[in-house]
Amino acid sequence: MSHARLSAAAGAISERTGRDRHRLGVVLGSGLGTYADSLEGAVSIPYAEIPHFPTPAVEGHAGRLVSALVGGQPVLVAAGRVHAYEGWDLGDVVFGVRTLAMSGCRTVLLTNAAGGIGDGLAPGDLVTIRDHINLTGRNPLIGPNDERLGPRFPDLSDVYRSSLRKVIADVTHSLDMTYHEGVYAWMIGPSYETPAEVSMARQLGAALVGMSTVPEAIALAHMGVGVAGISLVTNLAAGLASAPLSHDEVTEVAQKAQTRFTALLDALLPRLAADGG
């Protein structure tokens, strides 16, 4: 992970947006990407035009970074991410969030689509991530450490900051929505889990299972950035639902949940941009 590459990417973002520093970063997960279009003063930059930025392969969603003002504060929204299961090196997987941090963001909200494992969770639920379990054996910090980014052995005891979770809980309640919180288990994918793997993750205390977010959260914690995480449950994980899993089901549920998700982000982002960091 080269510091020079991150500086070049962050420099290009300030140049293109005319905003020197951004305060809050947001990563939008599968099926949630359209949120960025609704923001005030939005300046959109395709990932392909940012030096060294990895570009997702998903058709029609090449990925873009949107700079906008939320509650008067500059915010960077990354619509589209790259995943380890596409074959990317983890350094590339976390390049985007590291660039958000280099652009000044002291808080980053990571969102994703996930399978629900926890009792009482149903498709469409929004769940705040309390903590994670890394079931992949992989870590974006493997390799030489760059002390300019963070320490060799970073502490992960409050990655998904309790202060930020409290803000999400307050905002959720103010919208009369149900607040759920749980542990996210990272599986490498791209196959969905087996019922036995889901049963294992459940016994380990996970409420959610998914194929993203954790490497980004680790890289941000390494840089001292506060992470907030929200999963949209798009399906019950394998073995808990009656039908086989399909990606179409995941995107369909994500689309249906769009209105509630947008309402939550509209209320939450000004709070995170003002309070966070």
Catalytic residue among 22, 83, 132, 180: 83
Q: Considering the complex, state which of residue 109 and residue 225 has its C-beta at the smaller distance from ligand HPA.
A: 109
N- to C-terminal Cα distance for the chain? 24
Q: Is the dihedral of CA 244, 123, 184, 213 positive or negative?
A: positive
Residues that bind ligand HPA (CB under 6 A): 113-115, 187, 192-193, 209-211, 234-235, 237, 245, 250
Q: Considering the complex, state which of residue 159 and residue 250 has its C-beta at the smaller distance from ligand HPA.
A: 250
Catalytic residue among 42, 247, 267, 274: 247
Catalytic residue among 12, 36, 79, 113: 113
Would residue 235 show up in a list of annotated catalytic residues for this protein? Answer: yes
Amino acid at 174: S
- Supply the minimum distance, in Å, between the C-beta of residue 91 and ligand HPA: 22
Q: Considering the complex, state which of residue 33 and residue 276 has its C-beta at the smaller distance from ligand HPA.
A: 33
Catalytic residue among 67, 112, 231, 235: 235
Number of Cβ atoms within 10 Å of the Cβ of 34? 13
Residues in the chain: 277
Would residue 211 show up in a list of annotated catalytic residues for this protein? Answer: yes
Nearest residue to 223 via CA among 96, 55, 56? 96
- Supply the minimum distance, in Å, between the C-beta of residue 244 and ligand HPA: 11
Instruction: Identify the bridge partners of residue 73 per DSSP, sorted by sequence position.
Output: 70
Full DSSP string of 131-170: EEEE-SS--TT-SS--TTT--SS---TTSB-HHHHHHHHH
Q: Which residue is closest to ligand HPA by CB?
A: 115
Would residue 22 show up in a list of annotated catalytic residues for this protein? Answer: no
Q: Considering the complex, state which of residue 79 and residue 121 has its C-beta at the smaller distance from ligand HPA.
A: 121
Would residue 247 show up in a list of annotated catalytic residues for this protein? Answer: yes
The dihedrals phi and psi of 201, each to the nearest 5 degrees, come to: -60, -40
Instruction: Return the active site residues.
Output: 30, 61, 83, 85-86, 113, 211-212, 235, 247
